[in-house]
Amino acid sequence: MKPSALLPLLLALALSACSPTPAPLPFKGSDISGETFGGELTLNAHTGQRVSLADYKGKVVALFFGYTHCPDICPTTLLEYAAAMKTLGKDSDQVQVLFVSVDAKRDTPAVLAGYVPHFNPRFIGLSGSAAELAAVATRFRIVSQVLPTEGGGYLIDHSAGSYLLDKTGRLRVYQPYGTPADALAHDIRLLLD
């Protein structure tokens, strides 16, 4: 290799050493900042409006998938987010919790309106057609399966974690089921700063 060909390579290496990569944030949940799944979603809010993730740019978004007839995982997770909002105090004004239904058959906007705001009046429940919800679930790597119960009813076995998106709408943190409110608030604060 000619010495003149080495000069651009050495210059590039020297410049890259001058601009260090920022240290990852010390999230309590799993840092998924480099992942490319997810994307936009547009669904029916329990308020009667059609909303998308883009409507919440400038806020940290907590995105959780579940259903109103869920006996344990969904109410527990929503209670943890409600407690995290109390911990955040005034900073919670910069956070939007979105509960996306995996049960298109039962979770109409009216049903969500009678469920989601009981945890926190600012939380929003989202629903849509079966095709819309399936497409969103696939984009966010959510799996669910209907489990028939005696008497003709059903439960839905579904992914139990939640996601935090930063103020630009980018996926940043995966929170596994059972993450306590103080850990949720910690990670949300990191995204607010």
Annotated binding residues:
70, 74, 158
Structure tokens at 32: 């998924």
Could you identify the residue written with the tokens 């940043």? 172
The annotated binding site for Cu cation is made up of: 70, 74, 158
73-88 and 181-192 helices cross at what angle (nearest 10)? 50
- Residue 102 burial (10 A CB sphere; 0-12, 13-18, 19+): buried
Question: Are the beta carbons of 172 and 164 closer than 8 angstroms?
Answer: yes
**Beta-carbon contacts of residue 53 (< 8 Å; ≥ 6 apart):** 40, 41, 61, 98, 165, 169
Residue that the structure tokens 């679930």 belong to = 137
Spatial distance between the Cα atoms of 125 and 130, rounded to a whole number of angstroms = 15
Question: Taking a C-beta distance cutoff of 8 angstroms, is the pair 179, 28 a contact?
Answer: yes
Alpha carbons within 13 angstroms on the beta-carbon side of residue 142 total: 29
